[in-house]
Amino acid sequence: MSVADGLAGVSVIIPAHNEELGLERVVTGICDAIGKHGSRFEIIVVDDGSTDRTGEILSDLSRRDLRLVAVRLARRAGYGGAIKSGLRRATYETVLICDADMTYPPEAIPELLESMRDHVMVVGARTGEQVRIPWTRRPAKRFITWLAEYLTDQNIPDLNSGLRTVRKSVMERFMPLLQDGFSLTTTITLVMLTNGSPVRYVPINYR
The pTM score is: 0.91
Using the predicted structure, report yes or no on whether residue 133 has a pLDDT greater than 70.
no
User: Is the distance from CB of 73 to CB of 82 less than 8 angstroms?
Assistant: yes
pLDDT in tens, 22-68: 999 999 999 999 988 788 999 999 999 999 999 999 999 999 998 99
User: Is the distance from CB of 84 to CB of 169 less than 8 angstroms?
Assistant: no
Domains and CATH numbers, the chain: 3-203 (3.90.550.10)
pLDDT in tens, 139-178: 776 778 888 888 889 999 999 999 999 999 999 999 999 9
Report the chain's mean pLDDT, rounded to a whole number.
91
